[in-house]
């Protein structure tokens, strides 16, 4: 699973990459600003996405030149195709107001600086497990919607005859709801999607055209 590291400090980038690489996380994308993070998420030339990004988790620095981590997180979370990506804020500012701002913007968790490797890996693993479960749930929901759409379409195309259908025992005409007698195929065409082709069965051929079949 791919992790986007957003931090303007090369030393902090190196530290996070080293810890994550040693733990087996090798799909790492690094951005040194919010705008570079937007590029990595496919937002360079559009304010909306046409396909899901390949990023599964964002480690977002709290303080950066230009657009800070809170504003960047709020923007990412405002977009439908990015909303489900977990964001963990990495910050030295652990006072209540700053943490509240991060959570209000949409961050799911935070890691304090200086980063502790055990804490980092525990929170990253938890966030990625959550992302994986969310992806599986959304895939199941898409499949359920697809199956339901197919069922609804099938039901729209099917007409079912129910109840008592009066039929003449001799000519096999059917009496419709208006009390008129209709040919069987005409009645069925009006009450179903069936189409008919006409022919003669063997007993009728023998009756109408004796001699065609040898007894």
Whole-Å CA distances, 140 to 1, 27, 111, 136, 137: 20, 26, 32, 6, 5
| Predicted pLDDT of residue 195 | 76
Query: Hey, is 90 helix, strand or coil?
Result: strand
Residue scoring higher pLDDT (213 or 173): 173
Of 155 and 141, which is predicted with more confidence?
141
pLDDT at 100 (0 to 100): 92
| pLDDT tens per residue across span 75-122 | 999 998 899 999 999 998 878 888 999 999 999 999 999 999 999 999
Q: Which superfamily does 2-150 belong to? A: Response regulator (3.40.50.2300)
The rounded percent of the chain whose pLDDT value lies above 90 is 53
Cis peptide before 114 (omega within 30 of 0): yes
Domain coordinates of the chain in residue numbers? 2-150, 160-215
Q: Residue 10 — pLDDT band, cuts 50, 70, 90? A: very high
pTM above 0.75, yes or no: no
Confidence of residue 153 (pLDDT cuts 50, 70, 90): confident
pLDDT of residue 177: 81
Residue 48 has pLDDT above 50, yes or no: no
Decide if 32 contacts 11 (C-beta within 8 A).
no
Question: What does each C-alpha distance from 26 to 1, 17, 36, 121 come to in angstroms?
Answer: 8, 8, 20, 13
Say what the pLDDT of residue 207 is.
Answer: 82
Higher pLDDT, 6 or 153: 6
Instruction: Please give the pLDDT value at position 23.
Output: 96
């Amino acid at each position: 699973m791919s992790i986007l590291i957003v931090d303007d400090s090369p030393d902090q980038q190196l530290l996070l990459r080293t810890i994550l690489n040693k733990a087996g996380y090798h799909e790492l994308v690094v951005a040194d600003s919010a705008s570079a993070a937007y590029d990595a998420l496919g937002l360079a030339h559009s304010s909306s996405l046409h396909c899901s990004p390949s990023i599964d988790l964002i480690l977002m620095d709290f303080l950066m030149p230009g657009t800070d981590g809170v504003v960047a997180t709020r923007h990412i979370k405002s977009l439908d195709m990015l909303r489900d990506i977990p964001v963990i804020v990495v910050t030295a500012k652990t006072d209540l107001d700053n943490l509240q701002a991060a959570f209000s913007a949409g961050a799911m968790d935070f890691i304090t600086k200086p980063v502790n490797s055990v804490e980092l890996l525990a929170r990253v693993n938890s966030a990625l497990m959550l992302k994986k479960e969310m992806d599986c749930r959304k895939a199941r929901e898409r499949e359920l919607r697809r199956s339901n759409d197919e069922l609804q379409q099938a039901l729209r195309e099917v007409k079912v005859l129910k109840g008592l259908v009066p039929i003449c025992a001799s000519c096999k005409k059917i009496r419709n709801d208006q009390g008129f007698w209709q040919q069987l195929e005409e009645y069925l065409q009006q009450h179903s999607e069936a189409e008919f082709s006409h022919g003669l069965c063997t007993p009728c051929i023998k009756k109408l055209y004796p001699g065609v079949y040898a007894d």
